[in-house]
Copies of this chain bind each other. A is one copy, B any other.
Amino acid sequence: MSEAPSTASGWIDEHHNGVRYGLQGDVIADEQSAIQRITVIHSHRYGNGLLLDGCWMTAEHQERHYHEPLVHPALCAARSIDRVLVIGGGDGGTARECLRHHAVKHVDLVEIDGRVVELSQKHLAAIGGGCWSDPRFQLTVGDGIAWVGEASDASYDVVLVDGSDPAGPAEGLFNRSFFQHCRRILKPGGVFATQSESPEAFRAVHIDTVRMLREVFGHADPLYGWVPMYPSGWWSWTFAASDGPRYRSPDPERAAAIGPGCDIWSPRWQAGAFEAIPASIERELSA
């Protein structure tokens, strides 16, 4: 997963396990940061797009498939949403969706690679939108795992993990110690959410993540949706809370304020996406 994207003949591909997903277009930036290889392309189909270590992260006209399902089940369900922590998410899309909730007073975004932020601000400006200049928003370039370890108990209402696959810089975002700190820093009534990989292309990681979150938080459920550019196109996000599966019940007022601006997410879509667990995954999770 760390190989450079193939760019021969105008196609930029991510290769994964004998499958490739490619967009036709041109590379507009390609550099090795201190952390990883960062590639920005212009695609005919989805506008500008971002790859990290050769893996598709986001694109201007496909990012809502990912950001809306990560953000709104959590932001519509936590008891209060004054303070939100985003780990990763250097393209700004997760922060942008959080800041659409007027009750949010402060968003900390901790991104390990400052070059991802800089290149996103330059080439993917629509994804972050107004987040970068929102007075409620605070960017920290640094290690999200250390941030979570050092944060005070009960200091956030919502913690969102918007990281890449569990290899390289994101590996530590999928382990018990990290999740235990996330639970510790959540206020009562808080909600945790993380992207939790494809149940098809990363089945074992997906199942392990859901199981571990259930053990750590007491309540956790995967939600299934689609991000065409990710391996298999089929994706999941897992939500967790200590005081019950509150992430399954969006507050009607918050949902009504946010829903009309959404492309994918709605309370109905969310209710379905939590139930649409494939039979063999359900059997394995309950075994």
Contacts and interface: CB of A to CB of B under 8 A. Distances in A.
Interface of A: 11, 13, 17-25, 43-45, 200-201, 224-226, 228, 232-234, 259, 262-266, 268-269, 271-280, 282
Q: Classify the interface of chain A: helix, strand, loop or mixed.
A: mixed
A13 B8 CA distance: 14
A257 to B, nearest CB: 14
Contacts of A224: 272, 276
B277 A275 contact: no
A20 B22 contact: yes
A23 B20 CA distance: 6
B282 A278 contact: no
Copies of this chain in the oligomer: 2
Contacts of A234: 226, 228, 233
Contacts of A13: 20, 22
A286 to B, nearest CB: 11
A197 to B, nearest CB: 14
Contact of A279 (B22, B23, B263): B263
Contacts of A19: 21-24, 45, 228
Contact of A233 (B45, B233, B259, B282): B233
Contacts of A268: 275, 277, 282
B275 A271 contact: yes
Contact of A226 (B11, B43, B226, B282): B226
Contacts of A269: 275-279, 282
Which among A232, A263, A276 has the greatest number of chain B C-beta atoms within 10 A?
A: A276
A23 B233 CA distance: 14
A225 B200 CA distance: 12
A11 B20 contact: yes
24 contacts: A18-B24, A18-B44, A19-B23, A19-B24, A19-B228, A20-B21, A21-B21, A200-B226, A224-B272, A225-B276, A228-B232, A233-B234, A263-B280, A264-B280, A265-B279, A266-B278, A266-B279, A268-B277, A269-B276, A269-B279, A271-B275, A272-B275, A275-B275, A275-B276
